[in-house]
Chains A and B, each alone.
Chain A
Amino acid sequence: MTNLDSARRRAESDAKSRGYFLNPDESFLKDLLEGLVENERRYGYPSCPCRIATGEFRLDRDIICPCDYRDADVEEYGACYCALYVRRDVFEGKAPLRPVPERRPAKRQAAAVSYASGAIASESGGSKDKADVDKAEKGNALGGGEPGMKLWYCKQCGYVAFRDEPPYVCPICKAKKEMFGEVKLGLVG
């Protein structure tokens, strides 16, 4: 059972390893951590407190905190979607904190909402909804890959990540994003 303190410690250590900061507004931060704890109690994993989850791991995987969209949002907007993680300038109050637009692809969101509404529980109706879910699931399969996903390696320490953009900061050696190069795979022979 995760409590508020352990949720905070988990987020703090993750922020530190990635070069981010937690939201400096203490009461806002507490609300977010409470939301994460509540979602973990409900679903068994800490899905984003600001997004609708289904309780189906395959449909919620991308919004389990830290979500798949965090790095890109922190870089572009200074905060992730729920604003748990923020960039240094936002933490220091040098840049404003504004609502972050939803980056999660519409098809994934539609699949989650369809599921949450029970539309795919019945085999008869909701064929479009079922298709949404199937499509969203397909993107999850390893190797099937979501479009734009690439392998990146840290030129400083060799850390490798599979994602659309290189990490903001290398979680191992703290090298900056610019130190990442793309791994090109090809068949030799």
Chain B
Amino acid sequence: MQVVKVPGKDKRHKVFLYALSTCAWCKKTKKFLEDRGIEFEYIDVDRCSKEDVAAIKSELERRGAPMSFPLIIIDDKVEILGFKEDELKEALGV
């Protein structure tokens, strides 16, 4: 799976982002994290193979999360659907 790691100084949280490469809200989310030096990993689901999409689908089903983007998962428990700046700031303590 093509998971991209974006290094950052702020490693307090484990941040994983499900995104689409074409999605402007996803870009905004990536930029938000980069600008604040938050380390995160992301995957562009529209660039994934069928097998990878299948794996992502079952992972999101297991979480009970919809296949909508951006989906940000913080420390494996907090899920934020969509670019909600206030919620992101609070969850990430920035």
* A interface list, Cβ under 8 A from B: 28, 31-32, 34-36, 38-39, 49-53, 82-83, 98-102, 106, 109, 113-114, 116-119, 121
Contact = CB atoms under 8 A, between A and B. Distances in A.
Contacts of B54: 117-119
A116 B20 CA distance: 13
Contacts of B20: 35, 49-52
A50 B53 contact: no
B82 A99 contact: yes
B67 interface: yes
B54 to A, nearest CB: 4
Contacts of B69: 50-52
Q: Specify the main secondary structure of chain B where it touches its partner.
A: helix
Contacts of A100: 82
Most buried by B among A34, A38, A109, A116: A116
B63 interface: no
Interface string B1-45: 000000000000000000011111111100000000000000001
Contacts of B83: 99
A102 B50 contact: no
A83 B57 CA distance: 25
A39 B22 contact: yes
B84 interface: yes
A35 B46 CA distance: 11
